[in-house]
Amino acid sequence: MSHYETIPLWDGEPPYSEGVEQKTQPTLTLYPVPNAKGMVVVCPGGGYQHLADHEGEPVALWLNRIGISAAVLKYRHSPYRHPAPLSDASRAIRYARHLAGKWGHSADRIGILGFSAGGHLAASAGTLYGNGHPESEDPIERLSSRPNAMILCYPVISFGEYRHHGSMVNLLGDHPDPAARQMMSIEQQVNGDTPPAFIWFTADDGAVPAENGLLMAGALSRHRIPYELHIYERGRHGLGLCEGEDLTARAWPVQCEAWLRKQGF
């Protein structure tokens, strides 16, 4: 496959698209590098309402620069509701695992990285995963959708007190069922099999409170899951790679690279 090829995520009609007038075809844009140990699926943010360009390709190119293959996921968002976005993220992880045979990276080194609502999607994929469908005729669907690592950048985590209300409404509807809110409050879904995580925030994030990161880190800690948490003093929501910013958060890509090396990427 050539660099930067965009492929449809699903063959034919994606699941959970019934009743949605604005049909969207989810895609993966592939950024392979030779001799990569692993691959990371990138989920841009956008409040489950749109996808932020600066949290897509630039991040994939950064991963390439540090020797990691990447795939940018164009996942479904509003007017689509849960579980359409999660089904896209789970499929993307399986696809990345499937590509290991073609590209040579390890099928056990598949990460997922997300910003803001894309961070919620990444954390959802890391906790609400499936082990695969061995009876499926599709070889991709037979694979596990559990990522081996999560990188959560100013992520929406909880739909409780510290929620980003717009993301919750776009994902679950105007008056979500309390059980759905609890299910998609990802700090409540962490267990002993949750993959390791790298989490970062700025303390003065005006859109998604840093408490989301603290809640996730606390849940990981209680279950003895390895994690790294960075809360930088100043910044703003939506920093992406933080290039051109005179902020201590500029350190996050370097610190994340070191963490990824520890995870075997």
Query: How large is the average pLDDT for residues 238-263?
Result: 94
pLDDT at 137 over 50: yes
**Number of other CB atoms surrounding residue 177 within 10 Å:** 10
Helices vs strands, H then E, count in the chain = 8, 8
pLDDT tens readout for residues 175-215: 999 999 999 999 999 999 999 999 999 999 999 999 999 99
Exposed, middle or buried by CB within 10 Å (0-12, 13-18, 19+), for 190? buried
pLDDT band for 19, please (50, 70, 90 cuts): confident
Amino acid 166: pLDDT = 84
Give how far Cα 166 sits from Cα of 26, 107, 145, Å: 22, 35, 27
Amino acid 1: pLDDT = 43
Q: Which two tokens stand for residue 25?
A: 């075809």
CB 256 within 8 A of CB 238: no
pLDDT band for 165, please (50, 70, 90 cuts): confident
Domains of the chain are 5-11+24-262 (3.40.50.1820)
What's 175-202 look like in SS3?
CCCHHHHHHCCHHHCCCCCCCCEEEEEE
Amino acid 3: pLDDT = 60
pLDDT at 22 over 80: no
pLDDT at 123 over 70: yes
- Residue whose C-alpha is closest to residue 121's, from 192, 47, 193: 47
pLDDT at 2 over 60: no
**Percent of the chain's residues with pLDDT above 70:** 99
27 Ramachandran zone, left/alpha/beta (phi>0; psi -120 to 50): beta
Residue with tokens 């997922």: 112
Query: How large is the average pLDDT for residues 1-24?
Result: 84
Amino acid 164: pLDDT = 86
pLDDT tens readout for residues 31-53: 999 999 999 999 999 999 999 99
Amino acid 245: pLDDT = 83
Q: Which two tokens stand for residue 3?
A: 């660099």
pLDDT at 14 over 70: yes
Cis check for the bond before 147: say yes or no (omega within 30 of 0).
no
Residues 6+ apart with CB under 8 A from 101: 107
